Amino acid sequence: MDLEVLIENVLNALAAGITIGCIYGLMCIGLGLIFGIMRIVNFAQGELLMLGMYASLYLVTGSGVLAFLGPYFGPFIGALCAGPIVFAGGALLHKFLIARVSGLRTAGSLDDGHFGQLIITLGISLILQNGALILFGSTPQAVRTPLASRAFEIGPIYGDATVFLNKARLIACAVAIVTAITLYLVLEYTRLGKSLRAAADNPTAATYMGIDVDRAYRIAFALGCGITAVAGGLMATYLSFGPFIGLDYVIIMYSGVVLGGMGSILGAFWGGLTVGFVQQCSALVLPPQLQNAAIFVVFLLIVMLRPQGLFGRSAERA
């Protein structure tokens, strides 16, 4: 009997770890573009996640434009549509603020403009958090879908041990994987993707090759914002959220990006997956308060043992 419970708990934690991990993975890809590849320190990334949640909420519930899609498909399509909305916002942010403290303007300067980026993005983060508080109120919200309370059952596998797969999470996970693969293909094989990567890698050389580096940066930054927002929209289907939820996730995102190895989009996905997995599995042995501490301990251990990240190829040299 005890063994059955144990097996059931372990299998369910694994399943939850993988599904949630994939959504975290998508969320980390957004930051992976901005921080991992462009090396912009963005403290407002959590707020972009939050904006994705609210965008999806206002699209698909109440009298939103997409409300006609109903509670089954609506939330997921809403999440995907949150992407372009936040993408546009990200492009504006970059044009008017971020571009002044990053890219060609600060390349080669002492500290590479990180001090400026820290302050600017912290300011943006404060404005977005508190702006959301004013506009949306402090009541926790959720994009309700009946799928969140239904699950696929697999098993019984061993005795009565059954794996429950929450339908909302499973669909969200599938959408996350498809989005991540699409983005990967775009970055890897299209002309746009190649120019983005070239510009991020070496802005000066990219300029010589005739790439409009400012535009490439703006698109890459906005893409990073949009991708994280899609992940936010997906998370909104199984999680209640408020204006300050970004603070909880910004650290998780940075952990994921560093774990995966900076500069790699796939690495960021795997890093996010690892963080989600560790978080869910630690629930088996640790009290809930210590689950987040477990993430940081694992994060510190991996960073100490493999400073280049789990999937990165070479360490950063000073």
User: Per-residue x/- mask for another protein, residues 244 to 273, rule CB under 8 A?
Assistant: ---x--xx--xx--x---x-----------
Q: Any contact of residue 101 with another protein (CB under 8 A)?
A: yes
Q: Are the CB atoms for 153 and 11 separated by under 8 Å? A: no
Angle between helices 213-235 and 167-189 (to 10 degrees): 170
User: Counting contacts by CB under 8 A, is residue 111 touching another protein?
Assistant: yes
Q: Is 289 exposed, middle or buried (0-12, 13-18, 19+ CB in 10 A)?
A: exposed
Nearer to another protein, 97 or 266 (CB): 97
> Per DSSP, what are the bridge partners of residue 165?
152
Burial of 115 (0-12, 13-18, 19+ CB in 10 A): middle
H-state helical runs in the chain: 2-31, 45-60, 70-96, 114-136, 167-189, 191-201, 203-208, 213-235, 246-260, 265-285, 288-305
Give yes or no for a cis peptide into 156 (omega within 30° of 0): yes
Q: Does 204 bind another protein (CB under 8 A)?
A: no
Does position 130 interact with another protein (CB under 8 A)? The reply is yes
- Please name which of 288, 270, 15, 53 lies closest in space to residue 167, comparing C-alpha atoms: 15
> Does 70 engage in binding with another protein (CB under 8 A)?
no
Residues 30-59 that bind another protein (CB under 8 A): 35, 39, 41, 43
300 contributes a contact to another protein by CB under 8 A: yes
Q: How far is CA 45 from the centre of its chain?
A: 8
Q: How many Å apart are CA 88 and CA 90, to the nearest integer?
A: 5
Is 278 near another protein (CB under 8 A)?
A: no
Provide the residue type at 231 as one letter. A
Asked whether position 191 contacts another protein by CB under 8 A, the answer is no
Figure out which of the listed residues 56, 61, 125, 282 binds another protein, where binding follows CB under 8 A. Answer: 125
Q: Residue 283 corresponds to which tokens in the numbers above?
A: 């629930």
Q: Which of 5, 127, 178, 185 binds another protein (CB under 8 A)?
A: 127
Binding mask 138-177 for another protein (x = CB under 8 A): x---------------------------------------
Q: Which residue is associated with the tokens 């434009």?
A: 65
5 binds another protein (CB under 8 A): no
292 lines the binding site for another protein (CB under 8 A):
yes
For residues 209 and 78, give the distance between their C-alpha atoms in angstroms, rounded to a whole number: 39
Per CB under 8 A, contacts with another protein among 225-244 are 243
Smallest gap from residue 141 Cβ to another protein (A): 16
Q: Does 99 bind another protein (CB under 8 A)?
A: no
Q: Enumerate binding residues for another protein (CB under 8 A).
A: 35, 39, 41, 43, 97, 100-101, 110-111, 114-116, 118-120, 122-127, 129-134, 138, 243, 247, 250-251, 254-255, 258, 262, 287, 289-290, 292-293, 296-297, 299-300, 303-304, 307, 316-318
